[in-house]
């Protein structure tokens, strides 16, 4: 079914019962659509008749990307068994990146088991670990870190810990990242630390988590939890900082 917005809606399930309803761009080939349906027989049919596993749609997604994003494990395994490059990327992210973005931990595990790169960076968009964090997929985060993802990588100007403390609402993930080895002393490009972001939001719980692991900030005269919060709020009110955080 073609919708006015330029999307196709694909309904998975039924007899195959493998994949959820998903959305794909209308530039997708029938081969790509079959990959999202979870029907291995259909995918095999197109492949045997010249289906191009290297072809990408207008969003840079190949047949493997489509299978992975829809959570179609059997199709993902089938395509990889046929030699489809696990790290295939046309500038919009590898299949592993897309799996993390779509919270598809099962297909992500398959990709990582086939040696997908957990540290690939998509310019201006981040890396798989950042995407898993953004969409709050703890399962994907655990898989990526186990596979060697760098918890301190600045995939998109910020480390995962910086993003979590800046954005807010990620308290449990901050705790997880710290246990996984995230460094709270890595600043953003403007020199601000995770504890400062948490303090600006007045999140004492996060400041308490970060304080014992954070090196004293020279400009904070009263190096204490209350002192950090007070300092951060004063700094945030300065015109320059207001401009920088826009």
Q: Which pLDDT tens digit goes with each residue over 98-125?
A: 999 999 999 999 999 999 999 999 887 8
pLDDT for position 12: 44
Q: Is residue 6 predicted with pLDDT exceeding 80?
A: no
DSSP state letter for 122: B
Residue closest to 82 by CA, chosen among 120, 117, 48: 48
pLDDT at 239 over 80: no
Distance between CA atoms of residues 169 and 54, nearest Å: 39
| Model pLDDT for residues 133-192, shown as the tens digit of each residue | 999 999 999 999 999 999 999 877 899 999 999 999 999 999 999 999 999 999 999 999
The whole-angstrom separation of Cα 32 and Cα 56 is: 9
What pLDDT, on the 0 to 100 scale, is given for residue 241?
57
The pLDDT-based confidence of 28 (bands split at 50, 70, 90) is: confident
The CATH number given to 157-246 is 1.25.40.20
pLDDT higher than 70, residue 11? no
- Can you give the residue ranges of every domain in the chain? 157-246
Return the pLDDT at 123: 81
Compute CA distances 129 → 8, 22, 70, 125, 183, whole Å: 28, 23, 19, 11, 15
> Coil, helix or strand for 22?
strand
CA 164/CA 132 separation, integer angstroms: 12
- Taking residues 24-33, report their average pLDDT: 79
Answer yes or no: are the C-beta atoms of 123 and 92 closer than 8 Å: no
66: confidence class by pLDDT, cuts 50, 70, 90: very high
Give the alpha-carbon dihedral of 56, 62, 63, 66, to 10 degrees.
-120
In whole angstroms, give the CA distance from residue 58 to residue 37: 20
Q: What is the pLDDT of residue 3?
A: 30
DSSP state of 19: -
pTM of the model: 0.86
> Binning pLDDT at 50, 70 and 90, where does residue 18 land?
very low
Question: For 72-101, how does the pLDDT look when each residue is reduced to its tens digit (9 = 90+)?
Answer: 999 999 999 999 999 999 988 999 999 999
Angle made by CA atoms 212, 216, 218, in degrees to the nearest 5? 165
Task: State what percent of residues in the chain have pLDDT above 70.
Answer: 87
- b/e per residue, 35-53, with b = 16+ CB within 10 A? bbbbbbebbbebbeeebeb
pLDDT at 69: 96
Query: What span, in angstroms and rounded, lies between the C-alpha atoms of 223 and 211?
Result: 9
Band of pLDDT at residue 198, cut at 50, 70 and 90: very high
CA 41 – CA 71 distance, rounded (Å): 17
């Amino acid at each position: 079914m073609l919708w006015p917005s330029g999307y196709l809606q694909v309904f998975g399930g039924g007899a195959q019962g493998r994949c959820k309803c998903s959305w794909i761009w209308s530039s997708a080939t029938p081969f790509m659509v079959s990959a999202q349906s979870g029907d291995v027989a259909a995918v095999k049919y197109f492949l045997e008749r010249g289906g191009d596993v290297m072809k990408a749609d207008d969003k840079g997604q190949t047949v493997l990307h489509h299978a992975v994003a829809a959570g179609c494990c059997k199709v993902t395994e089938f395509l990889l068994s046929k030699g489809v490059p696990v790290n295939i990327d046309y500038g919009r992210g590898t299949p592993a990146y897309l799996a993390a973005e779509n919270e598809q931990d099962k297909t992500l595990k398959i990709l990582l088991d086939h040696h997908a790169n957990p540290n690939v960076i998509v310019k201006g968009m981040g890396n798989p670990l950042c995407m898993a964090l953004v969409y709050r997929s703890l399962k994907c985060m655990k898989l990526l870190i186990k596979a060697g993802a760098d918890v301190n990588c600045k995939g998109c100007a910020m480390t995962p810990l910086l993003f979590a403390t800046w954005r807010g609402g990620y308290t449990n993930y901050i705790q997880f990242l710290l246990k996984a080895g995230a460094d709270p002393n890595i600043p953003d490009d403007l020199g601000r630390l995770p504890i400062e972001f948490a303090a600006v939001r007045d999140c004492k719980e996060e400041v308490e988590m970060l304080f014992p692991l954070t090196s004293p900030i020279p400009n904070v005269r009263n190096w204490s939890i209350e002192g950090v919060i007070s300092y951060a709020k004063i700094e945030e009110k300065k015109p320059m900082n207001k401009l920088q955080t826009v």
